[in-house]
Amino acid sequence: MLYAQGFGSRRECEGLCLAGHVSVAGRVVDDPMEDIDTAGLEYVVDGVTWPYREHALLMLHKPDGVECSRQPKHHAGVLSLLPLPLRRRNVQPVGRLDADTTGLLLLTDDGALIHRLTSPKHHVPKVYEVTVKHAIEPALLAALTAGVMLDDHPVPVRAAAVEATGTHTLRLTLTEGKYHQVKRMVAAAGNRVEALHRSAFGALQLPADLPPGHWRWIEPAIIGL
């Protein structure tokens, strides 16, 4: 069980049990071969409580200056914000946010779920809070709604929804994920993105009590799948 949950090699996991570092319901599990029912299981390793998950699914409040790449080049990588067992499970971001973009990021080790959440045919909405350089004019909102041309796309790309939330802020909903899409769309509509924050993914809202750099477990049903 521990091996599948990212706690090291089979020998390392055996050693954790034999040394008394693993417990279930207050009882030390020192037999590495003990058969444990994993349904609804919570277990403790070195004083930290973990839920058993066949597949890990997390949400993280991505801070500014962190890369979503598994091999970051210019900033710290987002995976460095996760504990070692999750990194060992090959958890990876569902899509990417630019290094200077903050907000809701999903991470999982479930390849089928990543495909479902990122495939354009499923139209999973992502909501962005956008701060722009110039005051928002009705023409900007109209252009984003009608669609703008991007260099690498043969037809206009449009927002699923857009609304002004202030003189220099707007809320933009997209159902596809192209490279630098929000920044390029706003630029094509005649303005410039100064700050970008993702506030929702599917039906999941970024909780107000989840600070930047922190994460928590979620269930797929919460996203609205």
Q: Which residues are catalytic?
A: 98
Name the DSSP class of 63.
P
As a whole number of angstroms, the distance between CA 204 and CA 78 comes to: 20
Angle, CA 130 vertex, CA 135 and CA 181 arms, to 5°:
115
Count CA within 13 A, CB hemisphere, residue 8: 9
Eight-class DSSP state of 177? -
The CA distance from 122 to 95, in Å, is 14
Length of the chain, in residues: 225
In degrees and rounded to multiples of 5, residue 47 shows phi and psi of 85, 0
Q: What angle do CA 196, 197, 202 make, to 5 degrees?
A: 130
Q: What angle do CA 108, 49, 69 make, to 5 degrees?
A: 25
Token pair belonging to 111: 């390849």
| Residue 15, H or E segment | helix 10-18
